[in-house]
Amino acid sequence: MEKISILGAGTMGHSIALSAAWANQAVNVYGINEQDLESADKGLNNKLNVMIENELFSANQAKEIRERIKFTTSLENAVSDATFIIEVVPEILDLKKKLYTKLETIVDDEVVIASNTSGFKPSLLAADMRRPERFVVTHFWNPAHLIPLVEVVKGERTDEATVERAMAVLDKMNKKAVVLQKEIPGFIGNRLQYALFREAQSLLDAGAASKEDIDAAVTYSIGRRLPVTGPLMSADMGGLDVFSAISNYLFEDLSTDQRSGKVLTQLAADNKLGDKTGEGFYSWETEVSAKINEEREQMLIYFLKNDLK
C-alpha cells in the first residue's frame, strides 16, 4: 500500500485526506502554519459530523478515520516516509514548480509526485523536474470527499508505471478515475463545464432568458439525465441521426466567444464575486448561502450513497 502525503491543508487538501482515511489509508497533511492546520481540522471535523448524520459511517468509525490523518507544518516530516505525494497548493505555476524542485531534494526517486491542478498541463508543471517521469496530475473535484471523479493526466514524459500507481491509489479511495491520453488545457470536466457556462453567459448577455430560467433549463432537464448518461451516451439513446442533424444546424449559432461575457466581466470588475462576497449573478445572503450549500451537499451525499450500494 502506498504511503500518502498531501501538501496543502485547504478545502481540497483536507477533503482528499478524508477520502484516503475513509479508505483505511494513513495520510500526512502539510499546512504552512498552525492557523492553516486549525482551519483544516475544523473543516475536517465538520465534514465528518455531516457524514455521521447522514449515516455514511458511525461515530466510532469517524474517530478511526480522523486518527488516520496527521497534520504537520514541517514539509520534511510530511514526506519523510511518503511513496505517493499529492500537491494541493494554490494555482500559481512558479509556486508549484519550486515545490517540486524542493521535493526532489528530499524524497527518493521512486516517490510519485502528483498535482491536483485543475488546468495546468503536466508537462508544463514538470518542465524543471529532474525526474518528470514520476509526475502526474490527479485532478480531484470539489468537494473531493463527495465527488467520485478524478482526472488522471499524464505528461509527455510520464511513465505508464506512474499512471498505474495513481490509478491504484484512486481505486483504493473508491474514486472513479478517468485517464486522459492527451494533455489538453482544462482536461475533460472543465472543458465540458465551461462550454456550458459560455453558452449560459451568451444567452444571458443576449437577453434570451432570465438567469433563473437559464439555470432552471439545466437543472430540470439535462441535469436530471446527466447523473446516469453523459453527453455521448445520451446521444446514443436519442438517436445519432437526430443528434447529427441538430448539430449541423445548431453549432453554427452557438457562442464562440473567446472571453468572459459582458455581464460576468462587469460583475467581476465590481467585486461581485458570488457566494464569497454576498453578491454575483444572484444575491447570497447568509441564510440563502447556507440553504443552497446544504441542498447541494445533501444531493451529493444522496448520489454517493447510491455509488456505495
pLDDT tens digits, 204-232 = 999 999 999 999 999 999 999 999 999 99
Can you tell me the distance from the alpha carbon of 8 to that of 31, in angstroms, rounded to the nearest whole number?
5
Can you tell me the distance from the alpha carbon of 105 to that of 130, in angstroms, rounded to the nearest whole number?
10
pLDDT of residue 116: 98
3-state helix, strand and coil shares in percent for the chain, rounded to the nearest 5: 55, 15, 35
pLDDT of residue 215: 98
pTM of the model: 0.94
pLDDT of residue 190: 95
pLDDT of residue 257: 96
| 56, pLDDT greater than 90 | yes
Label each residue of 226-255 as H, E or C: CCCCCHHHHHHHHCHHHHHHHHHHHHHHCC
> Angle 99-101-106 (CA atoms, 0-180°, nearest 5)?
90
| 119, pLDDT greater than 90 | no
pLDDT tens digits, 250-278 = 999 999 999 999 999 999 999 999 999 99
pLDDT of residue 308: 87
State the pLDDT confidence band at 109, using cuts at 50, 70 and 90. very high
**Helix ranges (DSSP H) in 135-239:** 160-172, 189-205, 211-217, 223-225, 231-238
Can you tell me the distance from the alpha carbon of 236 to that of 230, in angstroms, rounded to the nearest whole number?
10
